[in-house]
Structure 1
């Protein structure tokens, strides 16, 4: 049975865990990574697929376990958000500037775009861990959440298991490159969010200035 070539960075650090616990490590870490716990679930999925490519694990079992774990983890996050998220926001939201008005806007956004967010969230760190909780907290219906959750899991597991299985020992440079693009994506999302907030503030200021101008003109004419 072939042994994988030495792997760089986090992939190499996880080899003892995967060697010792195999499929159990895949299931537990992927489940936690999709349920608000910052563990290397994505990394262990990639490494397990690399192992499958060398015959040390079954790629069918890796994919099946990762899919079930990803859907279950995100679903638990949704249930936590649905049952306790609002209470947490009401009690602690003001400390992180999450006012009722902002929460209402978040709920309106998820009402329009929640399914798309849940589908692609797994490909972005932080979003992967929190999208289920946010969906539950904002009141996204289970009927809309579950298909998006399953589709997102299928895409995420499919992409990373295929990449690991086919790339084998060469996965290190590919994984590092994808992580670099993920950082760029996070920065781009941050810039877009700042631009949207700035635009809304500018429009609000403009409406206030226009109303003030109309009031002053109306007062002077009388």
Structure 2
């Protein structure tokens, strides 16, 4: 196991042992409304701990998914309802807001999905969806899709590839943007195809 990952495991395991699923839920949820937290690292460690019987993988996945869905939804409604206050207090910088608006207006659900996997952006994109007044239905679809992919990658992934996790993480961090651009493009094409077939069958 790589030294960096082993260090993260050593650092986080005592916290998970003491606070368990509650800590996992809080750390993941608060990221959805702008508070940086080690939610992703905790999810990886919790997933790996499940292989030794210290935690339940089913509960880890369930808690992580519920936390992400909840936190992202809170971020969306904060942005939609209190966006003006966030701007007035300077918590959302004008240049960041402009970038979020541009991404959401141009790419919609695709931007939302990609942001879930990019540190720094994932803490603000869901608030940005609210600020940009993204319609609720596309937000819900994007939120479910982003959460499902994220939980599968960082919740199930470490268990499935624990012996190959070092090169996998290295590849992901090296090609983070391009990887998710390709994945999101494929998912968007699949969604368009499904919509086309649905209209055709009416």
Check whether TM > 0.5.
yes
1:16 aligned onto 2:8? no
- Report the alpha carbon displacement of residue 141 of structure 1 after superposing the two structures with TM: 1.2
Find 2:75's aligned residue among 65, 71, 77.
77
Equivalent residue for 1:88? Answer: 86
Is the contact between residue 115 and residue 145 of structure 1 (CA under 8 Å) also seen in structure 2?
yes
Alignment check: 8 A CA contact 1:53 1:164 kept = no
Does 1:42 pair with 2:36? no
Q: Note the 1:134-173 alignment, pairs <5 A.
A: 134-168=128-162, 171-172=165-166
Aligned residues: 178
Q: Does residue 1:60 correspond to 2:33, yes or no?
A: no
Query: Structure 1 length as normaliser, TM-score?
Result: 0.68
Query: What corresponds to 1:125 in structure 2?
Result: 119
Unaligned 5+ runs, structure 1: 190-222
Which structure 2 residue ranges, 5 or more long, are not aligned?
Answer: 182-202
Deviation of 1:172 after TM superposition, in Å, equals 4.9
Q: Deviations over 1:98-154 (max 9, x none)?
A: 49xx85x86465234221111221111012111110100111111111110011000
- Sort the Cα spacing of 1:29 and 1:91 in 2 relative to 1 into closer, same or farther, 3 A: closer
The alignment's TM-score, normalised by the length of structure 2, stands at 0.75
Give the aligned CA root-mean-square deviation in angstroms. 3.1
> How many angstroms apart in 1 are the aligned matches of 2:100 and 2:172?
29
